[in-house]
Amino acid sequence: QVQLVESGGGLVQAGGSLRLSCVVSERTFSRHAMGWFRQAAGKEREFVAAINWSGGNTYYTDSVKGRFTISRDNAKNTMYLQMNSLKPEDTAVYYCAADRGFGIVTQVRDYDYWGQGTQVTVSS
């Protein structure tokens, strides 16, 4: 069973930065496409960013383009989300997810494994 553990969330003022990490338990981490999602209170889980198996291809939702950067280190079984210029509307629980496939996918239903989530709160 693949396990994902997120860390790095917290409380930050608008305009600040946070870096989220997602450590994956499986040695075959490099075979998985990965993604970040978020869920604000009372809303559905939404796609934020995704990265293919090698890290050579990334994709972002429009609202975070130019502010967030997804990356991965396959040697460390870890994926990252660098979040800059944070806004109050970025407040949510952030989840990392892994897909059995290699290529980028953006729908919740496409992902096979999920972490427990980490809270990000941006104050105005």
pLDDT band at 2 (very low <50, low <70, confident <90, very high): confident
Q: What percent of the chain clears pLDDT 70, i.e. is strictly above it? A: 100
Instruction: Find out whether 22 and 34 touch, Cβ atoms under 8 Å.
Output: yes
Q: Residue 27 pLDDT more than 90?
A: no
CA–CA gap between residue 58 and residue 34 (Å, rounded): 10
- pLDDT for 26 equals 81
Q: Residue 33 pLDDT more than 90?
A: yes
Q: For residue range 100-116, what is the model confidence (pLDDT) as tens digits?
A: 888 999 999 999 999 99
User: Average of pLDDT values for 71-87?
Assistant: 96
- Ramachandran angles phi, psi of 64, nearest 5°: -115, -5
